């Protein structure tokens, strides 16, 4: 941490900062410039927030943090990449191959889910997604079938062998969902629901942690830090788009953040092109891009009849579309123009 | 709802949409243009999501919603402005006068809170704020004193008569907090924690509903709709800044949204200049602006010694600063240049 | 500037940075922490960009700038607030009174402009606005009447005595517009049109510099720095809203930025509630807020018949509405609830 | 266009709208719902802005545009994909192969540019980039070598055969730059410099049109529409990142927008991972993603010694890094987990 004094700071004010840095458990280190003085807080055992609060002490201009605030999720702490294993099938997210998770936004009925589960399996998916408890913007929208949906998901897993991931919205539902699902999803709107994160840190199931729509990569990693520091290191991050001024896509799919998260952290990263774009027609292209940029898995919404879906119809693929997207994933990248193709 | 067919839509595709609109409980109404056809879904009893999902039906270009999705919070439903009464003192948010809520970000100790409570009361505050359960970005930051803080808040209320508002982060804490606090705050990060909203809809205490950092005004009103539709209409909205590209202030304080929320809804609106700006030095000016734009209350962070605060020090006022801000609230607006002050 | 070495930086890498800081004209000052080393570049005569580029030198983690990059616009350089005088009437923006600038988005005809000019003068406006050259998103929209509009603006000034501000979009139009207008506006989309800024730095007319829709306050002040460093210090800044995820208003009107710009700079600040909100119904409230937060002037779009305006109709006031907004500016702020109004 | 009347609209107000729609050159088409009435403006020959302005007519709630506002750039107008040919080498952007454009941010010296040009050619680049006139946020930063840089670029083209693209910032420089460069770049900050666009519409050289940092895809396509409607259809769009709340990357690289632009328009699309991320270490991964998502070309900043670059050092690759990025472009996508790799 660096405390940057203002041009007009007095000796007494500088002295006060030096003393406060000592109180906070750091060593102060003063650099006097021609115009201004900076005081560094050196050491690793001190209390960071006490230094941050000095930004309002007299004579202080700004306080700048140097070190990253996360620890256990950091690749500096654990250089080896983590792999998250899901379900009895031991699907490995973060292994050499890309994992494809597919299924409807919401479980709407037994028929709908089983048809989808069989269909996505046939097309090559490795895991099944489906919402039982739905976070809906309006109280008048479909809120999910709850425990009935969980039972249907379990049946689908038994029939197809695909491990199941489903969202948990409340601490009170954690135990119940753990009985049925192989992986629990923290939705984007709950990324900073710290009560939920603390509870999920104590369970033995892997977590899919979606990035909040206005969360920076740093905040996202700190949310994961809640899980790891609480005892659960079976965590996969999931980029699903952030909220920006652009409304032509539902969110702005931040694929650079996938590469950045993998640079900063050892945790595997999943990409969600369905929420990332909100548009059926773009999902094939951005799924390929997500894999190219380094995502360890993609999670895609598929519905037997998107125009009849109770939620997220506009971004859901039907089964033939999903099959085409899957085939697209194995096509080579377009090649670069070579000198022989240019005029002399 | 309007279904806008693409230029190349066939008669059969238009016919399909007409039929689907009927199935969804609306009357279809077709307008054939020279280039394209639009089909309106007319009526109030139909299922909106079924029309929304038609955006992926063959031959459809886009689906546009016309009516606002919220009902009970709307000023069209209830033209008279609502007033929220808080505590035994019956402080009225939404009445003719502006309410000032002040206190520390977190309750840190009995001494700190009581000194603040007495100080803000002396300066003219009408309610006391103070966090017992803190939503912190990092698990390594101060997480609040919990029930101990609630007891201190209750004591402060007894000593000063100021009603108390404090944040609730989890459904599991609702009953406990209700025993101590006069108003429960839903924090910005929990604005779309629907499990929490549904639980708070069933209690008899007023709610302070903060706008999420990436929530549109529409989403904010729909979060309030969860409370009203569940049975609790004692709701005050709170604008506290949104997340944008600008980092010179902690958030971008959206004061137009205060005016807009009051135009769209009958609910009272509170403004939080502390989180809105994150900068001590700006709070006086933006508090005045918040009142000028129509806020029914302001909520301000005050700490006896901001540079020692365990959270939000940089945006907290000390007591003399808070007194100055309070005095500023009663100064007249700068006057407009008159012709006699211009050269002929 | 501070160069923050990575944890694994070698002595040789640190030595390289020290040497490069000397080459760039600064004194290096090394602080060795328990985990990492930082090297400060001390002094005021060095070349900042050479230090910035060190962020990619081996062993470097990040480079952090400490001092603000702007000079002449800074209040540290010139503590006294600047006043910009406009036209023969010597309207003073930045003086004790608030200036009101009003008029249509575009000059559409002689009748339209003269009716507006007389109307806004009668209601109390101090200056006239009107576009001759219009920056329109689509090439198929009305592009302005050009020199014909300039002549009409000059006539309106002669008839009303109101000084005139109009937008300049191109270096090639500068001389012509200078013949007719009293103040030249740089539009939001041209805030970083540096060729235009450099040209306007050489003229003797005052400039109204709008903030770009994605410009930070720092970038806005640096755009003004182009004008001052080039020789023109008759500059008023103008906040007109920034682009964010919120679409309920046309832009997000950043009123905190008005207060912040006045804290950082001596230049006067104008606020544009018309573009800031894009909604007729909000303009009265946010105009009051702009004055409360410290704006030295407001600039408002007024049209005799907004529903027939060739541009910006939805945000234009008609004359009776403008009169009401003007009356609202002199109403007192709502008062704060006093103890006697609370229950014992 | 659809005019959506408010619930309380009178018959007279509806009649007024019907008449105004006729005046604007459209056919009115009325749909009366149980709660509200909508009036569609049907036809293609009318004046859209007159309908837009009706949003402030009495009894009107909102006006909604249905058709896209751009024409010549639209794939509906010209279904066949366009190819832009650059220079004597006739490099085809939009052809079957991906084009790689590389070079320094700024031309700093003859040695620096020639070394880079030879290096990027050797590594497989097809075109050379280099700035002669630089749009810099601060007036105190390096502003480019101007015509001297143009001469050096021409020499580099002669020596390597690589066509040259360079930025034009002002209408006054257009003729000069046309003498030297093969393609003219409109920088992100000038995307809506309409005077510049109108001038460039009249020349015979291809244009690289960068997306503005706060431009929607629609605004970007409308900027291109200025070029096509003015007579120049040799236009390549360039995505370079948008400004969002995320500061871990310099911009948020909107790769979905590449796919979307190609869906909406026939113009080829270039992707700029250097500005898109601002981070050397991410460029390899996001370049691959850009190609996977459908970009026709990538444009990458390369400098012989990034830590000594006069601009954009932190995002520039050195030559060995660029070679590695080039090799990465031909590696296959990671493959999807197959059933045989899962447990039974």
Indicate left, alpha or beta for B128 from its phi (over 0: left) and psi (-120 to 50: alpha).
beta
Instruction: With a cut of 60, say whether residue A149 has pLDDT above it.
Output: yes
Identity of the residue in D62, D66, D247 whose CB atom sits nearest the CB atom of B247:
D247
Measured between its terminal Cα atoms, the distance across chain D in Å is 57
CA angle C180, C183, C186 (to 5 degrees): 110
> Which is it for strands B235-239 and B297-301: parallel, antiparallel or unpaired?
unpaired
The reported pLDDT for the residue numbered B45 is 78
Average pLDDT over residues D252-280: 97
Check D7 against B76: CB less than 8 A apart. yes
Mean of all residue pLDDT scores within chain B = 94
Q: How far is CA A312 from the centre of its chain?
A: 19
Alpha carbons within 13 angstroms on the beta-carbon side of residue C251 total 24
Instruction: With a cut of 90, say whether residue A1 has pLDDT above it.
Output: no
Cβ contacts of A315 within 8 Å, gap of 6 or more: A250, A274, A275, A277, A278, A279, A280, A283, A301
Average pLDDT over residues D221-226: 98
Instruction: With a cut of 90, say whether residue A267 has pLDDT above it.
Output: yes
The answer, for A340 touching chain D at a CB cutoff of 8 Å, is no
DSSP string, C237-257: EEE--B--S--SSSSB--HHH
Q: Which of B29, A335, B242 is nearest to D330 (CA)?
A: A335
pLDDT, tens digit (0-9, with 9 covering 90-100), for C43-56: 877 888 889 889 88
Average pLDDT over residues D132-144: 92
The answer, for C281 touching chain B at a CB cutoff of 8 Å, is yes
Confidence of residue B43 (pLDDT cuts 50, 70, 90): confident
The reported pLDDT for the residue numbered D343 is 65
- The rounded percent of chain D whose pLDDT value lies above 70 is 99
Query: Pick the residue with more confidence: C12 or A66?
Result: C12
**How many CB atoms neighbour CB A179 within 10 A?**
9
Least confident of A47-51, B56-60, B234-238: A47-51
Average pLDDT over residues D179-200: 97
Instruction: With a cut of 90, say whether residue A45 has pLDDT above it.
Output: no
Average pLDDT over residues A223-242: 98
The reported pLDDT for the residue numbered A87 is 97
pLDDT, tens digit (0-9, with 9 covering 90-100), for C129-142: 999 999 999 999 88
The reported pLDDT for the residue numbered A43 is 82
Confidence of residue C65 (pLDDT cuts 50, 70, 90): confident
Least confident of B45-49, B53-57, B240-244: B45-49
Mean of all residue pLDDT scores within chain C = 94
Confidence of residue A67 (pLDDT cuts 50, 70, 90): confident
Check A282 against D290: CB less than 8 A apart. no
pLDDT, tens digit (0-9, with 9 covering 90-100), for A175-201: 999 999 999 999 999 999 999 999 999
The reported pLDDT for the residue numbered A344 is 54
Mean of all residue pLDDT scores within chain A = 94
The reported pLDDT for the residue numbered D344 is 54
Distance to chain D for A76, nearest Cα, Å: 16
pLDDT, tens digit (0-9, with 9 covering 90-100), for A304-340: 999 999 988 889 999 999 999 999 999 999 999 998 7
DSSP H or E run through A226: helix A217-229
The reported pLDDT for the residue numbered A343 is 65
Check C230 against D194: CB less than 8 A apart. no
Give contacts of A43 with chain C, Cβ < 8 Å: 33-34
- The rounded percent of chain D whose pLDDT value lies above 90 is 83
Confidence of residue B344 (pLDDT cuts 50, 70, 90): low
Average pLDDT over residues D20-40: 88
Average pLDDT over residues C249-276: 98
Confidence of residue B301 (pLDDT cuts 50, 70, 90): very high
Measured between its terminal Cα atoms, the distance across chain B in Å is 57
The reported pLDDT for the residue numbered A69 is 85
Average pLDDT over residues D258-283: 97
Q: Which of B255, B248, B311 is nearest to B285 (CA)?
A: B255
Give contacts of B243 with chain D, Cβ < 8 Å: 245
The answer, for A61 touching chain B at a CB cutoff of 8 Å, is no
Distance to chain B for D35, nearest Cα, Å: 7
The reported pLDDT for the residue numbered D313 is 85
Which of B:207-266 have CB within 8 Å of C?
214, 216-218, 242, 244-249, 252-257, 259-260, 263
The answer, for C44 touching chain A at a CB cutoff of 8 Å, is yes
Residue from C1, C9, C29 whose CB has the most chain A CBs within 10 Å, to mutate: C29
Instruction: With a cut of 90, say whether residue A46 has pLDDT above it.
Output: no
Least confident of A63-67, A261-265, D308-312: A63-67
> Which is it for strands C235-239 and B235-239: parallel, antiparallel or unpaired?
unpaired
Instruction: With a cut of 70, say whether residue C344 has pLDDT above it.
Output: no
Instruction: With a cut of 80, say whether residue D75 has pLDDT above it.
Output: yes
CA angle B44, B48, B50 (to 5 degrees): 130
ipTM computed for the complex = 0.94
Confidence of residue D76 (pLDDT cuts 50, 70, 90): confident
Least confident of C25-34, C331-340, D230-239, D326-335: C25-34
Instruction: With a cut of 60, say whether residue D84 has pLDDT above it.
Output: yes
Average pLDDT over residues A242-259: 97
Identity of the residue in B42, B61, B245 whose CB atom sits nearest the CB atom of D33:
B42
Confidence of residue A42 (pLDDT cuts 50, 70, 90): confident
Distance CA D178, CA D243 (A): 31
0.80 exceeded by pTM: yes
Q: What is the DSSP letter of B302?
A: B
pLDDT, tens digit (0-9, with 9 covering 90-100), for B119-161: 999 999 999 999 999 999 999 988 999 999 999 999 999 999 9
Q: Which residue of B has its CA nearest to A311?
A: B49
Q: Enumerate the H helices of C294-332 as residue ranges.
A: 319-328
pLDDT, tens digit (0-9, with 9 covering 90-100), for D108-133: 999 999 999 999 999 999 999 999 99
The answer, for A167 touching chain D at a CB cutoff of 8 Å, is no
Alpha carbons within 13 angstroms on the beta-carbon side of residue C203 total 23
The reported pLDDT for the residue numbered A11 is 93
Average pLDDT over residues D175-197: 97
Distance CA B61, CA B3 (A): 8
Mean of all residue pLDDT scores within chain D = 94
pLDDT, tens digit (0-9, with 9 covering 90-100), for C299-323: 999 999 999 999 888 899 999 999 9
Average pLDDT over residues A267-273: 98
A311 in Cβ contact with A112 (< 8 Å)? no
Confidence of residue B342 (pLDDT cuts 50, 70, 90): confident
Average pLDDT over residues B187-216: 97
The reported pLDDT for the residue numbered A66 is 79
Indicate left, alpha or beta for C36 from its phi (over 0: left) and psi (-120 to 50: alpha).
beta
Instruction: With a cut of 60, say whether residue D306 has pLDDT above it.
Output: yes
The reported pLDDT for the residue numbered D252 is 98
Check B260 against C254: CB less than 8 A apart. no
């Amino acid at each position: 941490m660096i405390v940057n004094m203002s041009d007009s700071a007095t000796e007494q004010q500088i002295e006060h900062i030096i003393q406060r840095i000592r109180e906070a458990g750091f060593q102060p280190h003063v650099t006097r410039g021609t115009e201004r003085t900076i005081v560094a807080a050196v050491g690793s055992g001190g209390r960071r927030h006490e230094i941050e609060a000095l930004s309002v002490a007299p004579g202080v201009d700004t306080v700048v943090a140097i070190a990253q605030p996360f620890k256990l999720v950091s690749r500096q702490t654990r250089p080896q990449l983590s792999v998250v294993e899901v379900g009895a099938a031991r699907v490995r997210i973060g292994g050499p191959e890309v994992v494809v998770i597919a299924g409807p936004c919401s479980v709407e009925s037994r028929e709908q889910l089983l048809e989808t589960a069989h269909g996505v399996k046939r097309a090559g998916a490795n895991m099944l997604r489906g919402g039982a408890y739905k976070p809906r913007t309006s109280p008048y929208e479909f809120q999910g079938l709850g425990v009935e949906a969980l039972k249907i998901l379990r049946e689908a897993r038994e029939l197809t062998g695909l491990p199941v991931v489903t969202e948990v919205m409340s601490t009170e539902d954690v135990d119940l969902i753990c009985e049925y699902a192989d992986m629990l999803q923290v939705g984007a709107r709950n990324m900073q629901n710290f009560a939920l994160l603390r509870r999920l840190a104590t369970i033995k199931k892997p977590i899919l942690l979606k990035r909040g729509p206005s969360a920076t990569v740093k905040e996202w990693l700190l949310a994961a830090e809640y899980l790891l520091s609480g005892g659960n290191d079976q965590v996969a991050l999931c980029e699903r788009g952030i909220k920006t001024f652009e409304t032509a896509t539902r969110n702005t799919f931040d694929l650079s953040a996938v590469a950045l998260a993998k640079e900063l952290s050892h945790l595997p990263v999943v990409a969600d092109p369905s929420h990332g774009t909100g548009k059926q027609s773009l999902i094939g292209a951005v799924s390929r891009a997500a894999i190219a940029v380094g995502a360890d898995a993609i999670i895609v919404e598929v519905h037997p009849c998107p125009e009849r879906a109770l939620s997220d119809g506009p971004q859901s693929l039907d089964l033939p579309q999903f099959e085409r997207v899957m085939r697209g994933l194995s096509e080579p990248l377009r090649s670069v123009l070579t000198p022989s193709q240019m005029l002399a």
